[in-house]
Amino acid sequence: MTRARLGLLACVLACARLARGGDALQRTVGARERYDHTFKVVVAGDSGVGKSSLILRYADNTFNPSYTATIGVDFKIRTLDLDGRRVKLQIWDTAGQDRFRSIVSNYYRGAHGVILVYDVSSAESFEHVPEWLDEVRGHAPTDAVIALFGNKCDVPADRRQVSLEMAQELAQQHRMDHFETSAKAALNVELAFQQTARRMKANARPPGSEAPQPATFSMEPSGVGAGVRSKCCGGLF
């Protein structure tokens, strides 16, 4: 076995162990402090759309222009006061490469929210959103809040391949909130995560209750959602 394959195998095994410990981490992380709500949020989408940059901007308010592709999964925490409640978000950053799909699917278990990210300058990443949505609905709890983020919203007009109207139509069909964001310029990132957290709080499970089991849904249009949508007003990524 080549050294590269050994390295990948080691990564897969490590990620699998982390996945098995995810539920325990969700119960114990932050146990030293008291929170009204602790929500598990999984961020998914194609590789290169800026998932890690969005999470880094939201969790640490920083941006790294040379951020490398996520291998397996990563993890960040952000706490916030939301409508008078103390909320902790456990944000799971997942790899977008096909070779990690089987690993990533384990992380949808027990999620309170899933954020699907595409790149407004990549029609391909947007075309893959229904595939990601189908995967989420096949593995995540049936009551998980799903939001759609269009990242890199402030690329020049001649580089944009996904219009705001196209994305809003898809979001409406599948009852998702939609936001356009810029991780580099910190545009709408705070708003998008906060609104998604507010939806999770409104949808919160009673303490000690089990997450509903996942179910597979048809990808046919299912009605119009009433989510908040925000148009990007400038930035770089």
How far does Cα 74 stand from its chain's mean position? Answer: 12
In a domain, 182, yes or no: yes
Q: What is the pLDDT of residue 219?
A: 32
User: Which two structure tokens, joined as six digits, stand for 177?
Assistant: 């909130």
In a domain, 205, yes or no: yes
Query: Is the predicted pLDDT of residue 89 greater than 90, yes or no?
Result: yes
Q: What is the pLDDT of residue 68?
A: 60
User: Which CATH number do you get for residue 221?
Assistant: 3.40.50.300
More confident call, 198 vs 212: 198
| Rounded average pLDDT over 131-151 | 95
pLDDT band at 39 (very low <50, low <70, confident <90, very high): very high
Q: What is the pLDDT of residue 99?
A: 53
Mean pLDDT of the chain: 78
The whole domain housing 17 covers 3-230
| Rounded average pLDDT over 33-56 | 92
The sheet carrying 145-151 orders its strands as 73-82, 85-94, 37-45, 113-119, 145-151, 177-180, 229-230
- Could you give the number of structural domains in the chain? 1
In a domain, 65, yes or no: yes
In a domain, 126, yes or no: yes
In a domain, 236, yes or no: no
pLDDT band at 106 (very low <50, low <70, confident <90, very high): confident
pLDDT band at 235 (very low <50, low <70, confident <90, very high): very low
In a domain, 235, yes or no: no
Q: What is the pLDDT of residue 65?
A: 77
